[in-house]
Amino acid sequence: MRRVYMDANATTPLLPEVMEAMRPYWMDHFGNASSIHLHGQQAHTAVNRARETMAEFFNCHEAEVVFNSGGTEGDNTAIFGLLHPGDHFITTSIEHSAILEAAKRVAQKGVETTFVAPQPSGLIDPMDIRRAIRPATRLISVMLANNETGVLQPVEEIGKIAAETGIFFHIDAVQGAGKVEFDMRRFGCHLLSISAHKMHGPKGVGALFVRRGTPIEPLLVGGSHERRQRAGTENVPGIVGLAKAAELAMHSLADGTPGGGTIDRLARMRDWLEEGILQIPGTGVNGARDGDKVVPRVANTTNIWFDQLEGEALVIALDLKGVSISGGSACHSGATEPSHVLMAMGLDKTRARASLRFSLLKTATGADIDHVLQVVPQAVEHLRALQPVAAGTLG
């Protein structure tokens, strides 16, 4: 049976070039980057080279790149490292749990958080961020791209508000990395987290951009690694893999004339998939339009509701037919609650439960789309025939 993976926002496979770049650092060049002998120097040089690549990727200074274990650590570091009792924190109700749970933790220490809700389109209105600011506000954290809908938030405008008001600004850019061009000065952020495994790199490694002069307390203390910003022996193969994935992502973002590059190809495939699925009656896209306007989204993601069925039943039915996709966020798999993102956008529980995320790998092919477009309508029809009408409403 043909197998199609359309859950890139949960994780991605390594690209072969990433695997090849990492390979020597598992066994031949296994040194500790802090050791002074040759083995140590080999590892140290590899980490330095990776840092140069990441500085290019972020468009920042090398001293502003801190390697870590991924998105969760970057998000936690921003919150735990900057906020003190009595501070006020502004974030949104559609963030990843790495932000939401960290906000809960600092609440116990006397940090109050305002959760700004999105518009029904999934977009955060920068004016709502501005209105939430208080004299005690120390940090604003807004994601670049939502993991469930792919909606791209107006981070540049929020960055300007943060700059005008002298508030620190963190961006969870885990789902934007490799899909949109990064520029730390343009974004106006002090901190930005990314994770390698969402961009065809290895799991358990990532980077945090920390603008020079940002008074962040490290989450982990011990050795003097990463300029004392993140203690722990560097994951050299992981760091090399992250940098290779970032290098490939930079090429794919700049690989051709408008309309001809990898990202444009991906957007065309996503649109083809979306249009095909929307032929099924009782379906619609979450986070695609704001009245007459098209909402900006990352190229690989679409989130679709299917009336008259349970999303989880469709995930299982599609899995049996060779298609891997997610309902809600894969990071919460097993949870029976409907997606907090879709609920915050104003969907009712039934529709939120009947929504699925299709997220394409960069390596997706036309044959993958064909297969999914063949399988989804059959599975939907089959499930709807089995379900009582009460599961949802058509139209």
List residues near ligand PLP by CB under 6 A: 70-72, 75, 96, 98, 143, 147, 172, 174-175, 195, 206, 331
Helix (H) or strand (E) holding 104: helix 97-107
Of residues 196 and 317, the one with the C-beta less far from ligand PLP: 196
- How far is it, in rounded angstroms, from Cα 299 to Cα 90? 28
- How far is it, in rounded angstroms, from Cα 167 to Cα 136? 10
Q: Which residues pair with 151 in a beta bridge?
A: 297
Of residues 46 and 94, the one with the C-beta less far from ligand PLP: 94
Q: Which residue bears the tokens 């929504």? A: 355
CA proximity to 273, closest of 6, 2, 3, 1: 6
Of residues 44 and 340, the one with the C-beta less far from ligand PLP: 340
If you ran DSSP here, which 8-state letter would residue 176 be given? T
Provide, rounded to whole angstroms, the least separation between the CB of residue 40 and ligand PLP: 27
Q: What is the dihedral of CA 7, 141, 122, 312, to 10 degrees?
A: 40
3-state secondary structure of 213: coil
Of residues 133 and 331, the one with the C-beta less far from ligand PLP: 331
Provide, rounded to whole angstroms, the least separation between the CB of residue 295 and ligand PLP: 17
331 an active-site residue?
Answer: yes
Burial label, 246 (beta-carbon count in 10 A; 0-12, 13-18, 19+): buried
Provide, rounded to whole angstroms, the least separation between the CB of residue 380 and ligand PLP: 26
Residue whose C-beta lies closest to ligand PLP: 71
Provide, rounded to whole angstroms, the least separation between the CB of residue 152 and ligand PLP: 12
Provide, rounded to whole angstroms, the least separation between the CB of residue 101 and ligand PLP: 11
Of residues 243 and 379, the one with the C-beta less far from ligand PLP: 243
Tokens of 152: 């791209």
- How far is it, in rounded angstroms, from Cα 366 to Cα 382? 25
Provide, rounded to whole angstroms, the least separation between the CB of residue 63 and ligand PLP: 23
Catalytic residue among 117, 133, 280, 331: 331
Provide, rounded to whole angstroms, the least separation between the CB of residue 280 and ligand PLP: 27
Of residues 175 and 235, the one with the C-beta less far from ligand PLP: 175
Q: Which residues pair with 285 in a beta bridge?
A: 304
CA proximity to 310, closest of 274, 281, 352, 340: 352
Where b means 16+ CB within 10 Å and e means fewer, 335-367 reads eeebbbbbbbbebeebbbbbbbbbbbbbebeee
* N residues, the chain: 395
Helix (H) or strand (E) holding 52: helix 38-58
Of residues 72 and 121, the one with the C-beta less far from ligand PLP: 72
| Catalytic residue set | 331
